[in-house]
């Protein structure tokens, strides 16, 4: 009787998982071995979409840009979020207000904030170039030069990613026993030594989680790239990342099967990176 009641309670959740997770996964895998333009009947092509993908020079351009974008985003996100979390992990009057300000970007729409950053990065009258001019630095072609455009996209993504990473790391830091810090102070350890020798080892799991989530978000990045530089990966192919390539093939060229194959390649790439990262973190914990 209890088992039946439990099944009735769980059934809606299982149905939702099947409808919104398992069915899309299975259907996308089915599409990846077919050629379909949304209008004509599907045509089975087997692994043709995957072979075509690995022969497509644009795929390697998108892969290279995504890799560079991931590196430019991952390192600043982890470093800045760790520093902000350490600064907010204090018992000071009004610290709650500073925590609120630090977490505000989490509530902002990604597309809306990318549009705002687009105005800030404007070459002639953008606020950032004006500030650089005051400092005696020349105008930077943030959104007109391919290399600078990828840097600008990384800056926007870091600004959006730091609050979430800070929340995770701050929660982990608050779980570190205070007596360890007190013992380190008695032994004469300074703030940096306490952070390096106590905080970092004890929040290694949270750091690993932040690494994995940040990599997943950068590989899947689309909305900020679309709003900041348009859906073409402009300028030239400077911001042509995997998310833009997926969008173009699915919704502009209507090559749905080809886009599905790309989606599964991205999934395999993320799966490998996640497994390797988890293996490395587990190995460090055992050593």
**Three-class SS of residue 173?**
helix
Res. 285: pLDDT tops 70? no
What does the alpha-carbon distance between residue 82 and residue 167 come to, in Å, rounded to a whole number? Answer: 10
pTM for the whole thing? Answer: 0.88
Rounded-to-integer distance, Cα 1 and Cα 157, Å: 51
For residue 1, pLDDT beyond 70: no
Average pLDDT over residues 48-64: 94
Half-sphere exposure of 227 (CA within 13 A, CB side): 16
Give the model confidence (pLDDT) of 122-153 as tens digits: 877 788 888 888 888 888 888 888 889 999 99
CA atoms within 13 A on the CB side of 251: 7
Mean pLDDT of the residues in the chain: 86
Region 34-285: CATH code: 1.10.3720.10
| Phi-psi sector, 108: left (phi>0), alpha (psi -120 to 50), beta | beta
pLDDT digits (tens, 9 = 90+) for 58-77: 999 999 999 999 999 999 99
Residue 287: pLDDT band (50, 70, 90) is low
Question: Where do the structural domains in the chain lie, given as residue ranges?
Answer: 34-285
Distances, alpha carbon 147 to alpha carbons 140, 159, 234, 240, in Å: 11, 19, 11, 11
| Residue that has been written with the tokens 């590196």 in this structure | 71
CA dist 226 and 221 (Å) reads 9
Q: Is the pLDDT of residue 27 over 80?
A: yes
pLDDT of residue 286: 65
């Amino acid at each position: 009787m209890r088992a039946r009641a439990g099944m009735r309670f769980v059934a809606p959740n299982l149905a939702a998982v099947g409808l919104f997770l398992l069915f899309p996964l299975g259907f996308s895998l089915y599409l990846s071995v077919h050629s379909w333009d949304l209008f004509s009947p599907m045509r089975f092509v087997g692994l043709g979409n995957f072979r075509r993908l690995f022969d497509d020079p644009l795929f390697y351009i998108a892969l290279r840009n995504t890799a560079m974008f991931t590196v430019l985003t991952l390192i600043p996100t982890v470093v800045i979020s760790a520093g902000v979390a350490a600064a907010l992990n204090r018992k000071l009057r009004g610290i709650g207000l500073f925590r609120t300000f630090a977490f505000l970007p989490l509530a902002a729409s990604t597309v809306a904030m990318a549009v705002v950053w687009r105005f800030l990065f404007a070459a002639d009258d953008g606020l950032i170039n004006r500030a650089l001019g005051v400092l005696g630095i020349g105008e930077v072609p943030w959104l007109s030069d391919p290399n600078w455009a990828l840097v600008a996209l990384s800056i926007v993504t870091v600004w959006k990613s730091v609050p979430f990473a800070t929340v995770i790391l701050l929660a982990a830091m608050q779980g570190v026993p205070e007596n360890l810090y007190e013992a380190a102070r008695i032994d004469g350890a300074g703030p940096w030594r306490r952070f390096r020798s106590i905080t970092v080892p004890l929040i290694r799991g949270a750091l690993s989680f932040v690494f994995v989530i940040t990599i997943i978000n950068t590989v899947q990045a689309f909305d900020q790239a679309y709003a900041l530089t348009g859906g073409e990966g402009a300028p030239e192919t400077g911001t042509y990342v995997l998310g833009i390539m997926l969008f173009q093939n699915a919704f502009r060229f209507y090559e749905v099967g080809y886009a599905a194959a790309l989606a599964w390649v991205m999934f395999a790439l993320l799966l490998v990176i996640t497994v390797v990262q988890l293996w490395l973190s587990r190995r460090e914990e055992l050593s």
